[in-house]
């Protein structure tokens, strides 16, 4: 993030659609985005935020104001930025989200017809046009493994193998030796993604794990199932739940207090006060846990804005 006069410019780029959807549901959609800045910032500072979802070349240009500023020990600041999405930015975002959800529904509920052996043979003989190659490479960032391989969810082992061999012949990087460097690089990524998709779907255990992820809530499903992603998810779950037993206990009970207040439709302020106390204890035990810190800041902000 960089400053220029009284205005602050920030960029956020997402490679995983699931992470972007989670960001949208929790921050961008409600209009309150959390950012960090290396220097001190005044409340009311104008923020220009460029958000690039997976698969988009041009970022979404968002503007807002720093509504709350929390100094950090390092000398910087945590910002709560009130974002307003208007005009073309809102239209582009709505279109993007609609495309993601439609693609997910098609992948889960209405898979495409399985290709025939004749189709695979033809596909293996024909080198794709540069336009088709570019389109394939762009779409893969928002496609499931099934969509990348053009196979239905119930595809069998033999049809899966035929389709894999057909695609790897068509999109082998050597076939694009004379293409421009950016396209050659993109085709190389697509070729590796095809191999990744086949490696997951041909393995019954990994395929079950992948399908289970696709059937989950929008902010939990993932388009890819790599070892790195699995390890990162484990680390994220551990950090989110707490890395110490006592920290986990206080975090869990803080959430239960808030959930019970919502379920029983009782006044939420007493629950907010008690939950904030528990989170302070959890954060004292795990001072580097940014998830605890963010949750506590959200509670304190609600307590400062809701009537006593």
With residue 11 as reference, give the H or E element that holds it: strand 7-13
pLDDT for residue 156: 92
Ramachandran class of 265: left when φ > 0, alpha when ψ lies in -120 to 50, beta otherwise:
left
Task: Give residue 160's pLDDT.
Answer: 94
Q: Mean pLDDT over residues 255-267, rounded?
A: 77
Please name every residue paired with 301 in a beta bridge, in sequence order, or none if there are none.
none
Residue-level pLDDT at 149: 92
Calpha distance 254→271 (Å, rounded):
8
Q: Count each helix (H run) and each strand (E run) in the chain, helices first.
A: 12, 6
| Integer Cα distance of 79 and 41 in angstroms | 8
The architecture that CATH gives domain 113-224 is Orthogonal Bundle (1.10)
Question: Residue 65's pLDDT is what?
Answer: 92
Question: In this predicted structure, what is the pLDDT of residue 122?
Answer: 38
Element (H, E) at 250: helix 245-264
Residues 265-278: tens digit of each pLDDT: 666 788 888 988 98
216 or 180, higher pLDDT: 180
The predicted structure's pLDDT at residue 239: 59
Structure-model confidence comparison of residues 176 and 110, the more confident one:
176
The per-residue pLDDT for range 76-124, each reduced to its tens digit, is: 888 899 998 888 888 888 877 776 665 555 444 444 444 444 344 434 4
* Strand partners for 8: 3, 47
How high is the pLDDT of residue 161?
Answer: 93
Q: Where is pLDDT greater, at 244 or 212?
A: 244
The whole-number average pLDDT for the span 161-165 is: 92
The sign one gets for the Cα dihedral 292, 294, 295, 301 is positive
pLDDT the model gives residue 91: 82
| Helix, strand, coil shares, percent, the chain, to 5 | 60, 15, 25
- Distance from C-alpha of 225 to C-alpha of 274, rounded to nearest angstrom: 39
Q: Name which of 198-202, 222-226, 230-234 the model is least confident about.
A: 230-234
pLDDT above 80: residue 305: no
* pLDDT greater than 60 at residue 258: yes
**Mean pLDDT, rounded, of the chain:** 79
Query: Which residue matches tokens 């106390």?
Result: 277
**CATH 1.20.1280.50 for domain 2-103:** no
Q: Is residue 57 pLDDT above 80, yes or no?
A: no
Query: Which tens digits make up the pLDDT trace of 188-203?
Result: 999 999 999 999 999 9
Q: Which helix (H) or strand (E) holds 60?
A: strand 60-71
Note the pLDDT of residue 232: 57
Per-residue confidence (pLDDT) for residue 6, from 0 to 100: 63
Domain boundaries, the chain: 2-103, 113-224, 239-305
Write down the pLDDT at residue 2. Answer: 41
Percent of the chain with pLDDT over 90: 14
What mean pLDDT comes out for the span 3-23? 75
Between 2 and 224, the more confident residue is 224
């Amino acid at each position: 993030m960089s400053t220029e006069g009284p205005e602050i410019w920030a960029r956020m780029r997402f490679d995983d659609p699931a992470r972007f959807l989670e960001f949208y549901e929790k921050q961008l959609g409600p209009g309150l985005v959390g950012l960090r800045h290396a220097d001190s910032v005044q409340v009311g500072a104008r923020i220009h935020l460029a958000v690039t979802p997976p698969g988009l070349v041009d970022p979404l240009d968002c503007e807002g104001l720093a509504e709350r500023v929390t100094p950090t020990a390092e000398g910087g600041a945590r910002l709560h930025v009130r974002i307003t999405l208007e005009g073309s930015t809102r239209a582009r975002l709505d279109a993007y989200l609609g495309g993601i959800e439609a693609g997910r529904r098609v992948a889960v509920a209405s898979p495409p017809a399985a290709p025939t052996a004749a189709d695979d043979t033809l596909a293996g003989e024909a080198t794709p046009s540069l336009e088709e190659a570019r389109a394939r490479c762009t779409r893969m960032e928002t496609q499931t493994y099934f969509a990348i391989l053009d196979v239905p969810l119930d595809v069998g082992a033999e049809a899966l193998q035929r389709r894999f061999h057909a695609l790897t012949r068509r999109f082998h990087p050597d076939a694009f030796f004379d293409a421009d460097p950016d396209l050659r690089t993109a085709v190389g990524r697509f070729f590796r993604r095809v191999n990744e998709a086949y490696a997951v779907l041909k393995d019954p255990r990994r395929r079950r794990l992948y399908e289970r992820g696709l059937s989950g809530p929008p902010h939990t499903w993932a388009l890819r199932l790599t070892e790195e992603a699995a390890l990162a998810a484990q680390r994220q779950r551990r950090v989110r739940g707490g890395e110490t037993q006592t920290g986990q206990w206080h975090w869990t009970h803080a959430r239960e207090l808030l959930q019970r207040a919502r379920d029983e439709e009782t006044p939420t302020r007493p629950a907010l006060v008690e939950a904030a106390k528990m989170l302070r204890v959890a954060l004292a035990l795990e001072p580097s846990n940014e998830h605890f810190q963010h949750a506590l800041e959200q509670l304190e902000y609600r307590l400062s804005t809701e009537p006593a």
